[in-house]
């Protein structure tokens, strides 16, 4: 009998500390509030507490997903953590999550494809479930602690980013869930934006070392996602043999509201088919799509059984990924 990966439950974690646009006006000494609202859609963002780290964000979100599915941590077979803000450069933060969560039987690893990593994690996990009967429950978690790397005097970065965690539990079922996935990359953009210090190119350590900071060293063309997402989604739909018009729900990387609006219009999909969260939580990178999905479900605007759901994300590098599921929860 065929095995399919199904999204069994969702969870999220939003830190308590709020930083509003008005606070940034004061920090930066210039008005950014109205520009952010009108051009990006962000009104405020959340910052993790001084005693929180990325693994904590992941554990909170994962625990909520497990409770909702009524699956104990020891029944989890694999934890895939999507993050580019790990607790450590090495070892992988997924191992820390396993310990804190009590998922004693789970294998672990991190996926770092910047903000596209969670969608890629979904793709990977779904293929494990479809091809290996020893995998029945896999946590795919996005966790983002980028404010630890933000320079609060740099208005190009500090205005956008927030912290948070989002998770889904994928479980094996005998009815279609995961339908397919697609990825595209352009490594020519690898040195445009990132936390460049700390790896082998520029290790940390020593008196001369600069602090690890998120940097925009080159500007992405403003229409990068506007032009990249529609063909990615269309290619995925061709791959699974369904027209774009069949999409019932679609969730995007939550970086820019205007980009999402442009892409929906390009695809011929109404705004009611998506859900956005950047207005209240800022841009939460690899965590943003599971957070948006969970928020939509909580507001009773989420997918219904039998609906076709697409996730489309992108991240620095430049990497894009999309996956398609039939909603079974």
Domain boundaries, the chain: 4-175, 179-326
Q: What is d(CA 49, CA 15) in angstroms, rounded to the nearest whole number?
A: 7
Query: 294 vs 14, 61, 105, 125, 319, CA distance in Å?
Result: 11, 10, 26, 19, 24
Question: Is the model's pLDDT at 329 over the cut of 90?
Answer: no
Provide the whole-model pTM.
Answer: 0.96
Question: Helix, strand, coil proportions of the chain in percent (round to 5)?
Answer: 35, 25, 40
pLDDT (mean) for 27-38:
96
Q: Which residues, 6 or more positions from 38, have their beta carbon under 8 angstroms from its beta carbon?
A: none
Which pLDDT does position 207 carry in this prediction? 55
pLDDT-derived band of residue 262, with 50, 70 and 90 as boundaries? very high
> Which residue is associated with the tokens 């429950």?
137
- Residue pLDDT, tens place only, 149-174: 999 999 999 999 999 999 999 999 99
**Is domain 4-175 classified as CATH 3.40.47.10?**
yes
- Quick count: other Cβ atoms within 10 Å of Cβ 198? 15
CATH (one of 3.10.28.10, 3.30.565.10, 3.40.47.10, 3.30.499.10) for 179-326: 3.40.47.10
- Rounded to a whole number of angstroms, the distance between the first and last alpha carbons of the chain is 20
Which pLDDT does position 193 carry in this prediction? 94
- Quick count: other Cβ atoms within 10 Å of Cβ 47? 21
* Assigned token pair, 34: 């109205």
Query: 236 vs 101, 258, 320, CA distance in Å?
Result: 34, 23, 12
Percent of the chain with pLDDT over 90: 93
Residue 128, classed as helix, strand or coil, is helix
Q: What is d(CA 16, CA 233) in angstroms, rounded to the nearest whole number?
A: 35
Counting every residue written for the chain, the total comes to 329
Q: Do domains 4-175 and 179-326 have the same CATH topology?
A: yes
- Residue pLDDT, tens place only, 176-185: 999 999 999 9
């Amino acid at each position: 009998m065929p095995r399919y990966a199904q999204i069994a439950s969702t969870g999220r974690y939003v830190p308590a500390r709020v930083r509003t646009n008005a606070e940034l006006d004061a920090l930066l000494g210039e008005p950014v509030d109205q520009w952010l609202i009108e051009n990006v859609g962000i009104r405020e963002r959340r910052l993790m507490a001084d005693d929180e780290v990325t693994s904590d964000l992941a554990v909170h979100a994962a625990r909520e997903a497990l409770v909702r599915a009524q699956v104990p941590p020891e029944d989890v077979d694999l934890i895939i953590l999507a993050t580019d803000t790990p607790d450590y450069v090495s070892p992988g933060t997924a191992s820390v999550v396993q310990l804190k969560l009590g998922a004693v039987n789970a294998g672990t690893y991190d996926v770092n494809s910047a903000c596209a990593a969670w969608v890629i994690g979904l793709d990977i996990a779904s293929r494990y479930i479809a091809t290996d009967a020893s995998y029945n429950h896999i946590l795919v978690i996005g966790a983002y602690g980028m404010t630890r790397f933000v320079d609060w005097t740099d208005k190009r970065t500090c205005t956008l980013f927030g912290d948070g965690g989002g998770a889904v539990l994928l479980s094996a079922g005998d009815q279609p869930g995961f339908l397919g996935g697609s990825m595209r990359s352009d490594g020519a953009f690898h040195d445009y934006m990132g936390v460049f210090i700390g790896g082998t190119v520029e290790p940390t350590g020593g008196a001369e070392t600069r602090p690890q900071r998120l940097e925009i060293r080159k500007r992405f063309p403003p229409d990068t996602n506007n032009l990249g997402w529609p063909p990615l989604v269309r290619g995925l739909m061709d791959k699974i043999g369904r027209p774009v018009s069949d999409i019932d729900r679609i969730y995007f990387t939550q970086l820019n509201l205007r980009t999402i609006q442009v892409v929906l219009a390009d695809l011929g999909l109404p705004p009611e088919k998506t859900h956005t969260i950047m207005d209240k939580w800022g841009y939460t990178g690899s965590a943003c799509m599971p957070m948006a999905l969970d928020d939509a479900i909580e507001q009773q605007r989420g997918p219904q059984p039998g609906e076709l759901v697409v996730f489309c994300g992108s991240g620095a590098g430049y990497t894009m990924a999309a996956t398609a599921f039939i909603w079974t929860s």
